[in-house]
Structure 1
């Protein structure tokens, strides 16, 4: 088209293009604060020219498409950094709550431990026959048990909270993946050769950004669809199909919620990282459960050490002491896939050897193997079978199992329930075993009265507990605290050796006999404990350098006024009863608090770094895709001027038409 009509026609296309460009710019401005909106840009091109009179004359312009200002690389960085920042935020949030919980309990638990030993046990040690002092110790024991069990219950509540949050996160993830799959369908049907549904593309990208806040993802474009995978490769969205996640019980521990595929039930928890869900799983496995195990180990050590010491002494009734505390049982969990109904149970045999780690047991049909779940390393164990029951010993625990089949596996959590179920079981103040099992005295008991007519200088030590017999003489036929008498059968001086016999007072039956070298280190005499705990022996030493035949020594049960065993109880406060003799009870709790605090500090640093990186990625994305109002204002003026110029051209064309019509009418 040429001439005046060509002018008008071209101006009309310019007017339309400017009008459309103004609409695009106005849309940008109106969506400046819309999350996920990508700045649009009008793409204008000239229409093919036509030849008139040997000349190519233009036919105006055309708005061919509206594009998004988009960078796939920058958007991928946003998704990745959003996932990292969200995971770090969730981990930090959960950790700070745990830091506050443990730090708050630290003062309470430390105070309870101090009061139990310093105010309770120490008072009984100094006034062993005083009933009010004994009652105060019972109260302190109950207070300590309450504080420790409360701390364990709070950690267990944290675990339940994590389960709930995992379920909520999975619900959000499934909703997002369904929407992404639906948008894939809509985008496929709405995309043409030259035009894309920009609004739908923005919505899909924004949904993936929200998804990356829940879980670390990778995105692969296939045609007009985006396929979404977890960072470890599990598919979440493939074209029009979304793959739902679901909650599932841990195959060993039904109380622990895991993440699984809804279609086949395959557990995915261990492979998931990033986002709120990854942060929750990391918090549970790396922080919360180790804290539960560490606190349980302290409870188990407290119960075992106090109960063993109680069992070494005598209460006011003259009996060996009973248990003061009870802690939670060893948790042994069978794999839900096991084919046999095996009977299995566990108990702690040596709290000093507990590491706080958990184990997996596996049976191959003949022998058992144990793997430390914290290190992944094989753990040595001893195995014996009697009466159809196999006993396995490792890491301070003993497992009894029968009826297992080849391929059966079990998880052993030695200390998980230690604190939760920790309690004081002693209510009678007279049952506190404050007295030493024996009092060593020179002389012999006659009609219940000690008579000392010894002429030599030999002595019999006050004695101590020994877990195993190292003595030359072991008294047989009787148990602690049976009254005993040691009588010299010959005399002598340094350099010679004299004999002795061990009998019960008033009896001529010899329970043990031996000799002692005068002037030397003496001879140890061991009396076995009949009960377990504590097992072991009460060990005394006979020594000196002048002996007279007939001299005697008595071992009599400690009476109500004796506080020897209470003094040994008080020493447990600073004794290294954990970590194979390297760690005290308070030291172990201080170590737990320090570990959690260190993890909390590290989580804060990680969050700060991840947030900074995410902000940088977002800023880079906004520099490409974000709406800049100054730029849009400049474009408004540009397109306004183009619109006005096109309108003027149309006006001029109209004027020329009118002049032409007037001239024709006048001719």
Structure 2
């Protein structure tokens, strides 16, 4: 004999379950604009039917349902789409930082313009041409000196500006590592909270969302790979569990960064207390434990060090290091800023040497042999001239008459002879062996042209990565984000189901009233 109150219990369960669904819908609506929030749903499931199995079970006409219950509250997400999103975010992080660095270099070189090195060189050659026409004119000689100083100043500006860009990149690397280390710690803490909640049979969906936001941020810095574990206890089968995070290297090797509540921290290998400066380069990276201590070899964690060459060209960290400069496996220094500095220094050195060779072969206004025109300011000679220390000799600055504009024999002054000035002006077109048998002008144009090509490539790949990321982001949003229209539809459906269950309780109440108060009263 089934219980008279069985239908009442069935409808009560329906009320509670629809009420839970309404509360969950309200939670979704409240978080419609919350970044990183994934919509949630109540997984409804029928309760065990009546009667149960067994020899003593009563015989009925059929297996009668006993209602519904909320099995779990689950967030809606797709692990595969999340993985795609992080892969594209990783590419975007690299190319955005790369494009920014190249754009900063383009601003420094500032070509074509009326104020860059190319313009200063053109004006210098023109001044030498004028000196060739009037070699005895003091004004023409003064102009040559001033144009030469402008050329040196242009080299200084480029050199110092690139050094400043390098310093800024070094600071940004330090900030990024601190951010990455903070994210690693926060993910490990969330793992610990999740492992505390899940064994009780609950789904900490909001903790999952917060962890995914941090994983998205971490994937911007470097390529990661995830593995999900189990919390044990009474954790639901659909519980996501703690996540293991690995750093993926170029050769496919995986380096563990997070395992449950345990995590490691990034450090720059060989970094001093002074940190990264424009004068040094990144040797590599190593990992330390959460207390900052070196990880001993032979355990489950690999502390490194890891060379920059082992990192794939993905993520903002690798891009910043590629700009700042690093020591490659072969011991050479590579990187966008160091290589550009090397090119500019070589250009300045070869220009100064070629110009000095011609200048010292001529004679000045008094018939004396020409002195070195460009010198190293620090040593006052021609040794180790760079873009940062190239200067016009003080002898020339203090006495423009010492400009060797003439090609006359030594001690035979020829004031009207400007043939050596013409030879100096023609250096604009002369190939120089140290520059690859091209002229100074062509060399600088090549540097600027190559930078422009690299900038276009970086911008194109940034755009492609951004487009792909937006596409995956929209697909992700179509799965996980809150649709107010859908939630309103669900709210109406759950509300109607709640009302129907309440009405069912009223019907059962009337039935019980008839049974209790109406039966056995015949004839009264």
Q: Distance between the aligned counterparts of 2:435 and 2:182, measured in 1?
A: 51
Query: 1:165 Cα shift?
Result: 0.9
Decide whether the 8 Å contact of 2:269 with 2:286 is kept in 1: no
Instruction: Note the residue ranges of structure 1 that are not aligned, 5 or more in a row.
Output: 331-345, 349-416, 439-480, 482-555
Partner Cα distance (1:152, 1:656) in 2: 94
- Distance change (3 Å), C-alpha of 1:220 and 1:132: same
Distance, in Å, in 2 between the alignment partners of 1:289 and 1:184 is: 41
Equivalent of 2:354 in 293, 297, 305: 305
Distance 1:320 1:615 in 2: 68
Question: Which of 112, 116, 124 is the aligned partner of 1:116?
Answer: 124
In angstroms, what is the RMSD of aligned CA positions?
2.7
Aligned to 1:656: 511
Please tell me whether the aligned partners of residues 327 and 419 of structure 1 are also in contact (alpha carbons under 8 angstroms).
no
Contact 2:222 2:317 in 1 (8 A): yes
Q: Which residues of structure 2 form unaligned runs of 5+? A: 52-57, 231-240, 289-293, 295-303, 325-333
Give the whole-Å Cα distance in 2 for the aligned partners of 1:91 and 1:603. 6
- Assess if the C-alpha contact under 8 Å between 2:77 and 2:480 holds in 1: yes
**Secondary structure of 1:643 counterpart:** helix
Give, in whole Å, the separation in 2 of the partners of 1:328 and 1:648. 96
CA contact (8 A) 2:347 2:435 kept: no
Could you tell me whether the CA contact under 8 Å between 1:2 and 1:57 is conserved in 2? no
* Contact 2:37/2:209 (<8 A) preserved: yes
* 1:41 corresponds to 2:41: yes
Task: Give the match for residue 190 of structure 1.
Answer: 197
User: How far is the alpha carbon of 1:180 from its aligned partner?
Assistant: 0.6
User: Residue 320 of structure 2 is aligned with which of 280, 289, 294?
Assistant: 280
Give the number of the structure whose alpha-carbon radius of gyration is greater. 1
Q: Give the distance between the partners of 1:38 and 1:327, measured in 2 at CA.
A: 63
Alignment CA distance shift 1:229-1:148 (3 Å): same
Aligned pair count? 467
Report deviation, 1:194: 4.8
Match of 1:135 in 2: 142
Give secondary structure in 2 for the equivalent of 1:62: strand
**What TM-score results when the alignment is normalised by the length of structure 1?**
0.65
- Give the structure 2 partner of residue 424 of structure 1: 392
Task: Give the structure 1 partner of residue 60 of structure 2.
Answer: 54
Task: Give, in whole Å, the separation in 2 of the partners of 1:274 and 1:655.
Answer: 70
Q: In the TM superposition, what is the alpha-carbon distance from 1:649 to its structure 2 partner?
A: 0.8
Structure 2 CA distance for partners of 1:81 and 1:620, relative to 1, 3 Å: same
Aligned match of 1:644: 499
| Alignment partner of 1:98 is 2:144 | no
**3-state DSSP of counterpart to 2:191:** helix
What are the superposed Cα offsets for residues 394-449 of structure 1, whole Å, 9 maximum, x if unpaired? xxxxxxxxxxxxxxxxxxxxxxx8212222223121221222252xxxxxxxxxxx
How is 1:94-243 mapped onto 2 (pairs within 5 angstroms)? 94-104=101-111, 107-108=114-115, 109-119=117-127, 121-192=128-199, 194-223=201-230, 224-232=241-249, 233-243=254-264
CA separation in 2, counterparts of 1:2 and 1:615? 59
Distance in 1 (CA, whole Å) between partners of 2:195 and 2:347 is 61
| Post-superposition offset of 1:111 | 1.7
Aligned 8 A contact 1:287 1:596 in 2: no
Equivalent in the alignment of 1:612: 467
Answering whether residue 371 of structure 2 is matched by residue 322 of structure 1, we say: yes
Could you tell me how far 1:576 is from its partner in structure 2? 1.1
Matches for 1:507-526 after TM superposition, within 5 Å: none
SS in 2 for 1:430: helix
Q: Please give the per-residue CA displacement for 1:541-589, whole angstroms capped at 9, x wherever unaligned.
A: xxxxxxxxxxxxxxx7453443232221111111112556631111111
1:499-538 alignment runs, 5 A limit? none
Q: Which residue of 2 aligns with 1:533?
A: none
Q: Tell me which residue corresponds to 1:260.
A: 285
Say which SS state the counterpart of residue 312 (structure 1) adopts.
Answer: coil
| CA distance in 2 between partners of 1:616 and 1:281 (Å) | 29
Quote the Cα distance in structure 2 between the aligned partners of 1:329 and 1:631: 74
Q: CA deviation at 1:150?
A: 0.8
2:191 touches 2:260 (CA, 8 Å); kept in 1? yes
Structure 1 pair 138–32 and aligned structure 2 pair: CA distance change class (3 A): same
